Amino acid sequence: MSKTFETARKAGLDGFMLALMSMILLAWLWPYPGMKTSPLHLSEISSYAVSIIFFFYGLRLSPEKLRAGLMNWQLHVMVHLSTFILFPLIALAFRPFFTTEEGQTLWLAIFFLTVLPSTVSSSVVMVSIAHGNIPAAIFNASISSLIGVFVTPLWMGMVMDAGPEHFDLLSVVGKLSLQVLLPVFAGIFLNKKWGHFAERHKKFIRYFDQSSILLIVYTSFCESFGEHLFSSLGIKEIVFLAAGMLALFFGIYFLLTFIGGLLKFNREDRITAVFCGSKKSLVQGAVMSKVLFAGPQAGIMLLPIMIYHALQLIAASIIAQRLAREVTDGKAV
């Protein structure tokens, strides 16, 4: 059990998750500093921090790493079809079960989770521990973040345009391109010159990333609590939501395992497929929620991804440890 918690800690499930919960509690107790009427302008500060996050992400992503991952196209197609097609189709299938107005809002938050890209750091950590294909994991997780800039708002536009909400797709893609793509490509361009600096200070950069996400979560929930958007959600609803998120993770995991077997993937590629194809990025969720859901709605839109993020790390760490033991015991196939 201690190994499981150590693995989860390496992947990000440590004091950071406690800090996230603390930010939500602080937003509930003291929402004013994070609201638009506050003179502190915390939301604007977090927007600039997001661009810095992705600049450093690009700075550590060398062109050589991208080229190394281009070869196994079947694996890449499987991962991205899972991330951007299979996940949202499952959410669409369950939409009729959310009949009330509050239920539709919660479903939209769940759907937002399903169209997010895969997470980078935890996917690579889990693949490494389970002895999977690490270069392919780095490639898939990295490319997933870039694809998400276009595919995530496209999916959300299709769903929100069907309702009363107005959705300006070009404006959203433009904002995400400026906040995410431009800093990433600037970082990649400067990788040869400054990449070693980013690697040498990656611990500090990780703390900066986490602090920025905490600020985004705080400001998002301040608006939501200020407008009383969580008044219809009780403990029972939160428990059911958590159970649904866990079922979603394991449903995708076992389905990808089955498909990997049908495609005759070797053990390393199967591991990469299931870990990269079943993850969702809290960082991208926090960033995109600021652009897609301006105002008090952003907080409730982050609730499913925060729950899924925690549960995916716990479940994936247990699975990764089991797969690693298969290698040490000589049972890996």
| Digit-coded pLDDT (tens) for 4-50 | 556 555 555 557 767 877 888 888 888 878 776 677 667 677 777 77
- Residue 201 confidence (pLDDT): 81
Confidence of residue 58 (pLDDT cuts 50, 70, 90): confident
- Residue 30 confidence (pLDDT): 84
Alpha-carbon distance values, 288 to 179, 191, 281, 308 (Å): 10, 25, 11, 16
| Cβ–Cβ < 8 Å for 138, 90 | no
- Residue 95 confidence (pLDDT): 93
Task: Answer yes or no: is pLDDT of 309 > 90.
Answer: no
Confidence of residue 167 (pLDDT cuts 50, 70, 90): low
- Residue 302 confidence (pLDDT): 86
Domain ranges for the chain: 2-320
When comparing pLDDT for 83 and 192, which is higher?
83
Q: Mean pLDDT, to the nearest integer, of 157-166?
A: 67
- Residue 270 confidence (pLDDT): 93
Q: What type of residue sits at position 174?
A: G
Alpha-carbon distance values, 104 to 5, 95, 96, 100, 272 (Å): 35, 8, 9, 6, 34
**2-320 CATH:** 1.20.1530.20
- Residue 245 confidence (pLDDT): 95
| Digit-coded pLDDT (tens) for 72-126 | 788 989 999 999 999 999 999 999 999 888 888 899 999 999 999 998 767 777 8
Residues in the chain: 333
Alpha helices, DSSP H, located in 60-181: 63-68, 73-81, 87-93, 101-114, 121-129, 134-160, 169-176
What's 331's DSSP letter? Answer: -
- Residue 111 confidence (pLDDT): 96
Q: Give the tokens for residue 255.
A: 């389905």
Mean confidence (pLDDT) of the chain: 81
- Residue 164 confidence (pLDDT): 47
Judged on CB neighbours under 10 Å (0-12, 13-18, 19+), 117 is buried
- Residue 329 confidence (pLDDT): 66
